[in-house]
Chains A and B, each alone.
Chain A
């Protein structure tokens, strides 16, 4: 038997094409390596060192020493508790409001495109800017919140919101909701649009009411979108920093101090890069655990085919 020359030529052409393919991937891989993988590994390495910039002579490896310090730090656990509180409250509220918004803009009405576009505006504004805006809104002398409460004879006027350990959370959560609810609404709207209209029609023929249809068709069909939205929001709520930094600086006292703020202060106030890296790695691990839990729930409910 003779080797078919055209076949061998085809083979080498395929190899050449594959080589070009790999070559074209190189820049992307390098970029990914430089901005994601290298920092992650570097950070992991840094977390095993005593590296305080103001004391360069004491730089040395300490194994898991920083992690022991972290586990024994009451501040860290308090801050983590506050972060989880913020996460649960803000994500729940954002989800409920976002679902409502998605259902509304899913309907046919005049100027729907305009409304859809405009609910996205807050999402396009940088977090630090929206936090600054909300800080001003809640200012006793110049903010509209006090003015509105006063004019409507509602309780809460003449309050210095940021001077109360509990009320200081209200502006923080409000600004977070204002910015992130549109994101959830957008994801859920995309999910709503994939639900076949026939399902609703046959439900109606079977005599289901609006609420029943929502419960039996809309929600189950939306589950994958809901999960994606919740994972994204939960993880970014875990990392909440800008709003706290801009609005309260973790205050009053340390009533609104969250883990990302603790992390920042170890890096930039204490210049303790080793311990700072340890906190960062720990937050990453917590995020991974949370993401893993979500994925499990999603798989268990058949929302994710894996």
Chain B
């Protein structure tokens, strides 16, 4: 009953609104002169992000006087925005025309045939970060334009740890020695609640130990020795007290709070935290560094890739105009403008102009982490895979399973998911 009836209701509601909307624009001029087109742009973001979007849209409308863009603000919660989009898109609604999508959604949207492949517009992708392009590509076709990049890295206190750790054992040792002389401080704050953010932390550590979620042929390798070592390290961080047991309920906001108040030596988080650390209200102004998470043995530094991309609704009546909006929003100058207004890191390298870097110097340090940006598996099954990894992490942190047992269970479950869905 529950969700399906909502889906049906949503379809009915959308239908009603649509017919009202159509009745409203029934008198639009059709033959003479260029037609004014109304695009609906569904996007997330409040405050300065909303301001940046409004500014960009105004600039676009000035350039294209016959295209009017209505901004439809979606829930700030990623899960809720996803659910409302799924409702809109399953019902076959012609709007929104252009949609801001989390970097992990395009594969799902593409395989459900909800969004347009963009190759027909011959986009030039040379300036974009490769990880972002990879996350926008599914089965060899481009389905999304990268908008802004996000990477999960390691924040550290420059004043307490002069050189950032490059290995996991060094990180643990640094955390121990600083907390020994600064009582009440937390060694490592990380996202350990049962949600997507715990998976991105685990991806960083897993990659650092040389592990990955899927191998190159798309088969799960969740219980590889590297992944077991990575999860054991995180679990030991909690058990040995480097990270407090409360991290098992923490999300980004909790890590932000303890780090900005100066209570944590290390914290895993996204670039958004950097400008906040450098502005009034922060207890750590000028004391913060941002680096990729360390490695162990033959691992490579890994920075889980987040960020937003732009996609076009397959049922849009205005694919050409929608593409023009995408092109404008993802141009270097619009991205620079957005970064200046809201701090969202541009997804293309040429948007990091000297003006931007002088006004927001932290971007320089963030760029060193973008290099290691690694997308989560680009598959429509990712949400299900992630749910299984979340269960494994949470079962381990709560002491219900050992890292090996938990990852074995996840491996079996994900294998079945891929066998059924592939």
A57 → chain B closest CB, angstroms: 9
**B168-180 to A contact mask, C-beta < 8 Å, 1/0:** 0000000000000
Residue of A nearest to B90 (CB): A53
**With contacts defined as CB atoms under 8 Å apart, how many contacts are there between chain A and chain B in the complex?**
117
Q: How far is the CB of A282 from chain B (nearest CB, A)?
A: 10
Known: A140-B246, A160-B249. A267 touches B391 (CB 8 A): no
Residue of B nearest to A47 (CB): B4
CB–CB B421/A55 < 8 A: yes
Determine the chain B residues whose CB is within 8 A of the CB of A35 once the complex forms: 5, 9
A163 neighbours in B (Cβ, 8 Å): 245, 248-249, 397-398
**A124-161 contacts to B (CB < 8 Å):** 139-141, 160
Tell me, rounded to whole Å, the shortest Cβ–Cβ distance linking B138 to chain A.
11
Q: Considering the complex, which residues of chain B in the window 373-422 have a beta carbon less than 8 Å from any beta carbon of chain A?
A: 380-381, 383-384, 387, 390-391, 394-395, 397-398, 400-401, 406, 421
Does any Cβ of A come within 8 Å of B8's Cβ? yes
Assess whether B3 is in contact with A268, with CB atoms less than 8 Å apart: yes
Chain B residues lying within 8 Å of A200, measured Cβ to Cβ, are none
**B4:A273 contact, CB within 8 angstroms:** yes
List residues of chain B with CB within 8 A of the CB of A39: 1, 4-5, 8-9
Q: Which residues of A contact B384 (CB under 8 A)?
A: 269-270
What DSSP secondary structure best describes chain B's contact surface?
helix
Q: A52-B421, A252-B397, A253-B398 given as contacts; is B108 within 8 A of A271 (CB)?
A: yes
Contact with B along A236-260 (1 / 0, CB 8 A): 0001010000001111111100001
Write out, one digit per residue, whether chain B residues 221-258 have a CB within 8 A of any chain A CB (1) or not (0): 00000000000000000000000011011000000000
B112 adjacent to chain A (CB < 8 Å): yes
Which of A164, A253, A265 has the most chain B CB atoms closer than 10 A to its own CB? A253
Task: Report Cα–Cα, A65/B355, bound state, in Å.
Answer: 62
Q: How far is the CA of A265 from the CA of B394 in the complex (A)?
A: 17
Judged by a CB distance under 8 angstroms, whether B157 is at the interface is no
Judged by a CB distance under 8 angstroms, whether A68 is at the interface is: no
Q: Which residue of B lies closest to A277 (CB)?
A: B4
Contact of B394 among A38, A46, A56, A252 (CB under 8 A): A252
Set of chain A residues within 8 Å of B397, measured between Cβ atoms: 163, 252
Contacting residues, chain B, for A239 (C-beta < 8 A):
2
- A263 close to B (CB within 8 Å): yes
In angstroms, Cα B379 to Cα A55, docked, is 12
By size class, the interface of chain B is 35 or more
Counting CB contacts under 8 A, is B113 at the interface? Answer: yes
Which residues of A have CB within 8 Å of B395? 252-254
- Is B362 engaged at the interface, CB distance under 8 Å to the other chain? no
**B129 interface residue per 8 A CB criterion:** no
Kindly state the separation between the CA atoms of A46 and B83 in the bound complex, as whole angstroms: 19
Q: A162 at the A/B interface (Cβ < 8 Å)?
A: yes
| A54 contacts the other chain (CB 8 A) | yes
Contact B3 A34 (CB under 8 A): no
Nearest CB of B to A34, in Å: 7
Q: How far is the CA of A281 from the CA of B5 in the complex (A)?
A: 11
Q: Are A280 and B4 in contact (CB under 8 A)?
A: yes
Q: Are B421 and A54 in contact (CB under 8 A)?
A: yes
Q: How far is the CA of A260 from the CA of B12 in the complex (A)?
A: 24
CB within 8 Å of B: which A171-229 residues: none
B51 at the interface (CB under 8 A from A): no
Q: Is the CB of A265 within 8 A of B2?
A: no
Q: Give the residues in chain B near A42, CB-CB below 8 Å.
A: 4-5, 8
B318 at the interface (CB under 8 A from A): no
Q: How far is the CB of B405 from chain A (nearest CB, A)?
A: 11
Given contacts A34-B12, A160-B248, A165-B398, contact A263 B2 (CB under 8 A): yes
Tell me if B7 and A273 are in contact (CB < 8 A).
Answer: yes
Chain B residue at minimum C-beta to C-beta distance from A160 = B245
Assembled-state Cα–Cα distance A38/B111 (Å): 29
Contact A46 B400 (CB under 8 A): no
Is A264 located at the chain interface by the 8 A CB criterion?
Answer: yes
- B residues bordering A, Cβ < 8 Å? 1-5, 7-9, 12, 82-83, 86, 90, 108, 111-113, 193-195, 245-246, 248-249, 380-381, 383-384, 387, 390-391, 394-395, 397-398, 400-401, 406, 421
Contacts beyond the supplied A269-B384, A271-B112: 11 A-B pairs with Cβ under 8 Å: A52-B421, A54-B381, A139-B249, A160-B246, A162-B248, A164-B398, A248-B194, A252-B248, A253-B401, A263-B3, A273-B4
Sorted nearest first, the 9 A-B pairs with minimum C-beta distance are: A253-B395, A252-B398, A39-B5, A251-B194, A267-B3, A54-B380, A163-B248, A251-B394, A249-B194
Chain A residues close to B by CB (< 8 Å):
34-35, 38-40, 42-43, 46, 52-56, 139-141, 160, 162-165, 239, 241, 248-255, 260, 263-265, 267-271, 273, 276-277, 280-281, 283-284
User: What are 12 A-B pairs at a CB distance below 8 A?
Assistant: A39-B9, A43-B5, A162-B249, A251-B193, A251-B391, A253-B394, A253-B398, A260-B2, A264-B2, A268-B3, A271-B112, A280-B1
